[in-house]
Amino acid sequence: MNAHTHLIARVRPELARTEQELSCHLFPLPPDGAVPESLRAYCGFDITPGQAEQLDGPVGMPCMPCLLRAALVG
Ligand SMILES: [Zn+2]
């Protein structure tokens, strides 16, 4: 798995209402490293950068579908 091809983020805790929003999702990044305007996680969860906090590593509860897909996509 290439550590530079995705980022880990979740909805800010004060904005999160569901378990899915509280989970840490993995977002694929384009090869040039630019952060797109809206991000779609491997599991299909959409997040806007304004409501998200980027994490240095998995914190709390990871999103299992994201983890599995990231591992498969590599
Ligand atoms: Zn996810």
pLDDT digits (tens, 9 = 90+) for 16-43: 999 889 899 998 887 776 766 778 999 9
* Distance between Cα 73 and ligand 1 center (Å): 14
Quote the number of domains for the chain.
Answer: 1
Model pLDDT for residues 46-68, shown as the tens digit of each residue: 988 788 888 887 778 899 999 99
- Predicted pLDDT at 35: 66
- Give CA–CA dist 16/6, Å, rounded: 21
Alpha-carbon gap, residue 4 to 10, rounded angstroms? 17
11 part of a folded domain: yes
Please give the distance, rounded to the nearest whole angstrom, from the Cα atom of residue 32 to the centre of ligand 1.
22
Residue 44 host element (H or E): none
pLDDT tops 50 at residue 1: no
Please check whether residue 1 lies inside any domain of the structure.
no
Q: Which domain holds residue 64?
A: 6-73
With beta carbons less than 8 A apart as the criterion, state whether 5 and 29 touch.
yes
Residue 74 has pLDDT above 70, yes or no: no
- Domain for residue 49, yes or no? yes
Phi/psi class of residue 39: alpha, beta or left (left: φ > 0; alpha: ψ in -120 to 50)?
A: beta
